Structure 1
Amino acid sequence: MRVLRILTRKELNTYFLSPFGWVVLAFVVLMQGLSLSSAMKGFRDTPVKDSLVYVTFHTPLFWFFFLFIFPLITMRLFAEEERSGTLETLLTAPVRTWQVVLSKYFAAMIFYVILWIPAYFQFKAFSWFTEIPPAYSEGALLGSFAILLLMGSTFTAIGCLSSALTSSQIIAGIITITILVIHYFLGFVTVIWGESFAGAGFFHYISSQQHLHYFSNGLLDSRPVVYYLSFSAFILFLTYQVIDLRRWRP
């Protein structure tokens, strides 16, 4: 565990010791602020039955920047080290392949969680600076961040695998965003084709939009937890296989 902790700290430092990590943080804070502002404007213009949390996380702007977070924070993880030749050096060091994979994944996940801390305070500022009760329940807010964490665990794993498949950060980013966009639009299959075909239940099960819909209303469900955690483990296993193949490649 000591080696894993050291490697994770090293990877995490790369986010905060370079301008890129701070730019990503500023980008997410700005875009989340715009999503919240547009939701509040909607509340001002017309009566809305849904909570402020629900409306904020269901704007097109939110999904636009949310899906782009993952190629930004993962595309360099393996691709940059492969391009610079440092991945071979790392793999020949006295560390195990699973430690390399998990350290990069954990560092990306820690950074991802940090990205959402300002968003939590943005919602809290609504009641701190006004005398109006917040237009959301605490359960809806915590549920939303819980599902964002679960989705982030899987989407970050996808980014790790994409980065492990190529030595180009750009290609890794393109692969990641392509997979995530496809996954996003799979959630609309039942909207387009209806509920009458045999696979409708499967598309409901994997729909990120539906998961966010329930959790942002404070309705917790164990099925998305199982789905995202098991899918994350499977993707990380594939990443391990890809990196381990490079370790033993002549």
Structure 2
Amino acid sequence: MRATFSLIRREFAAYFTGPVGYVALFAFLVLNGLLFWLVVGLLTEKGPRGVEYPMQVMLGGAESPPGALVAGVLFWGLFPAVTGIITSRLVAEERGTGTIEALLTAPIRDWQVILAKFVACFAFYLTLWATTLLYVPVLADWTVEWQGAVTPYAVATLVGVLLLLVAKLGFWFDLNGWAVLLLGLLGLVLAVGGGYLHATQDERHLVHIAANIDPRPVFTSYLGVVLAGAMFLALGLLVSSWVKSQLVAWMLSLLLGLLFVLPALARWQFEPGTLGYSLAYYVAVPEHFRRDFTRGVIDTRPLVLYVSVTLACLYLTVRSLEARRLR
């Protein structure tokens, strides 16, 4: 398994040494930043306008108030584009540069190669969504009762711990050694110094967090995002194993990903309760979020779809790599 972990580290670090990762990060942050700005405006709206499910607007599943439907089309139209950017280079770049031959002759099985590439892109995908956790306190309308526990020393301790975690990841992925070392030393000083001063300067250490809405929709929304993202990434990885051009791989990933998005627009053509309506709902990922995940409901049908398509795409990707080995 050492070779697998080495390949995971190499693939994950490649997102931060080339332009692909930064393009995906920029597009993702701009998209979610616009949606967050829309939600904040609705949360602070005066009068009869407002929003009942903040996560529904954030993840592009609301039909009202005005502007939310446009946000939904924008979000789900660009979602497969972002996941396609993440996966387009994974195998296509290896084939285009000729390094796939060296990889196939290495002492590592085909399923380990595909698993390592999928884990790396999935970890990067989770890193993108981790930035949106800063939005959660606002979206969930959390309030904090300050009782002396949240002091500048406590904040310094928290920042120090985060810097230590980043430095640990930097060492693990073999990033710039001096920068990682300085980051780790700064984190150590902040964590130890801030923790000591916080413990000695203030005796009250209780923080009470009261959520004014049910936090369940937040949890189920992120659960859906993680599993749906795994499905789109596995689909993009499969496409990347078919072609040599990263651009072609991205375009095919976008087109195939839209097959799980566009049926949401066609649901209006069917009568509720008919077979066509049921099929459109089953494969339409935006509908899963509009009706279930953003409302705090977990439906097993979308979960089965996401997991089964993910496993099927990974299996087909392994078979595609094996077929190339036999040529």
Counterparts of 2:19 and 2:143, CA distance in 1: 31
Counterparts of 2:4 and 2:297, CA distance in 1: 35
Return closer, same or farther for 1:174/1:128 CA change in 2, 3 Å cut-off. Answer: same
Structure 2's unaligned 5+ residue stretches are 61-70, 146-209
Return closer, same or farther for 1:184/1:136 CA change in 2, 3 Å cut-off. Answer: farther
Deviation of the 1:128 alpha carbon: 6.9
**Which secondary structure state, in structure 1, belongs to the residue aligned with residue 259 of structure 2?**
helix
User: Which structure: greater helix fraction?
Assistant: 1
Structure 1's unaligned 5+ residue stretches are none
TM-score normalised to structure 2 length? 0.70
Are the equivalent residues in 2 in contact too, given 1:11–1:104 (CA < 8 A)? yes
- Aligned counterparts, 1:1-250, within 5 A: 1-43=1-43, 44=45, 47-58=49-60, 59-60=71-72, 61-125=74-138, 127=141, 136-195=213-272, 197-213=274-290, 214-249=292-327
Are the equivalent residues in 2 in contact too, given 1:51–1:136 (CA < 8 A)? no
Counterparts of 1:130 and 1:56, CA distance in 2: 23
**What is the RMSD of the two structures over their aligned residues, measured on CA atoms?**
2.2
Letter in 2 for 1:67: P
Which deviates the most, 122-131 or 96-105?
122-131
Counterparts of 2:103 and 2:134, CA distance in 1: 39
**Which secondary structure state, in structure 2, belongs to the residue aligned with residue 195 of structure 1?**
coil
Are the equivalent residues in 2 in contact too, given 1:52–1:136 (CA < 8 A)? no
TM-score normalised to structure 1 length? 0.90
Q: Deviations over 1:186-218 (max 9, x none)?
A: 233332122354343232222212211211111
Q: Deviations over 1:2-52 (max 9, x none)?
A: 322221111111012234313322331222011111122234265235221
- Residue identity over aligned pairs, in percent, reads 30
Are the equivalent residues in 2 in contact too, given 1:74–1:156 (CA < 8 A)? yes
Are the equivalent residues in 2 in contact too, given 1:12–1:107 (CA < 8 A)? yes
Q: Deviations over 1:110-132 (max 9, x none)?
A: 1001100111112325657999x
Number of equivalenced pairs: 248
